Amino acid sequence: MSKRKMLSAIGKESNVKKNNKHWSLGLIESMNDPKHIYKETDRVVVIKDKYPKAKIHYLMLPRDNIESIHKLNKKHISILKEFGSILQDIIEENKDVTLKAGFHAVPSMQRLHMHIISTDMVSPCLRTKIHWNSFTTDFFIPYEDVLRKIEQNGHIEVMSTDLHKSLLATKLKCNKCSYVPRNMPQLRKHLAKHVQYGVLNTLWNFT
Ligand code: AMP
Ligand code: ZN
């Protein structure tokens, strides 16, 4: 699969250019549209992901035009710390679910954005293996790792195309138990059972 196809499969749901604007600018449009906004401060906006891959899926963006994780440097430590503080508020407000926060190693959409996503991964928009692996493998770089790397090294290294491709091609495996589905429909059915059976889900291997 070409790099462009792979990127599209993660973030872009349609090839159509809307209002003549390139699809990769969609987050910048959404962060300026009150109906998409969940929370905002002077420097940061949190929007609802338009194609959520779990029951809760937000994107946190800076108002400053930082293009991606690869443009981060030590000057951005303060905005990253503000990300962390808003993240804590969001975790407090959603105590009934487990949330994780991080960045895709190779993002498809413009403007730095941190995913805040519940670990159920139950959503009609979660359709492809690439969607799954982009949140459950090392393709997903946790917030704490990004902050640490920027504090220590002042930059995030670009992931090699070989590693990027192999991570997104990783064999499917449940993120809550050892179940290995044959395909996405099987995995989706299985994930729904984890939600249905709630607290018992870590003890059982549903098939
Ligand atoms: P990434 O692969 O990290 O660039 O992810 C981009 C995210 O943006 C995906 O989770 C998409 O579902 C989401 N997305 C795509 N277009 C929009 C939009 N116009 N508004 C809000 N979220 C979007
Ligand atoms: Zn499972």
Q: Is residue 12 part of a domain?
A: no
| Residue matched to tokens 């790792």 | 145
Give residue-wise pLDDT tens across range 90-115: 999 999 999 999 999 999 999 999 99
Find out whether 201 and 176 touch, Cβ atoms under 8 Å: yes
Q: Look at residue 85 in the predicted model and tell me its pLDDT.
A: 98
Place of tokens 């179940």: 179
Mark 63-77 as b/e (b = at least 16 C-beta within 10 Å): eeebebbeebeeebe
The pLDDT value recorded for residue 15 is: 46
Calculate how far, in angstroms, residue 103's C-alpha sits from the geometric centre of ligand 1: 12
CATH code, 86: 3.30.428.10
pLDDT at position 101 is 98
What pLDDT, on the 0 to 100 scale, is given for residue 204?
58
Cβ of 104 less than 6 Å from ligand 1 = yes
The residue ranges of the chain whose pLDDT is under 50 are 11-16
Q: Is 52 in the pocket of ligand 1 (CB under 6 A)?
A: no
Look up 164 and say whether it is catalytic.
no
- H/E element, 11: helix 3-11
* Residue 50, domain extent: 31-172
In a domain, residue 204? The reply is no
Q: Are 41 and 86 in contact (CB under 8 A)?
A: yes
CA of 40 to the centre of ligand 1 (A): 18
Q: How many domains does the chain have?
A: 1
Give me the pLDDT at residue 198, please.
77
Give residue 16's pLDDT: 46
- For residue 84, how far is its CA from the centre of ligand 1 (angstroms)? 20
Please give the model's pTM, rounded to 2 decimal places. Answer: 0.90
Inside any domain, residue 206: no
Buried b / exposed e over 33-44, threshold 16 CB at 10 Å, is: eeebebeeeeeb
The encoded tokens of residue 67 equal 């293009």
Q: CB-hemisphere CA count at 13 Å for 61? A: 29
Instruction: Check residue 6 and give its pLDDT.
Output: 54
In a domain, 196, yes or no: no
Residue 5, domain member (yes or no) = no
Burial class (CB in 10 A: 0-12, 13-18, 19+), 185: exposed
Give the per-residue pLDDT at 19.
63
Ligand 1 atom 6: the closest Cα is on which residue? 11
For residue 152, tell me if it sits in a domain.
yes
What is d(CA 6, CA 177) in angstroms, rounded to the nearest whole number?
27
Examine residue 147 and state whether it is found in any structural domain, yes or no: yes
Q: Is residue 3 part of a domain?
A: no
Model pLDDT, residue 47: 98
List the structure tokens of 28. Answer: 């910048």
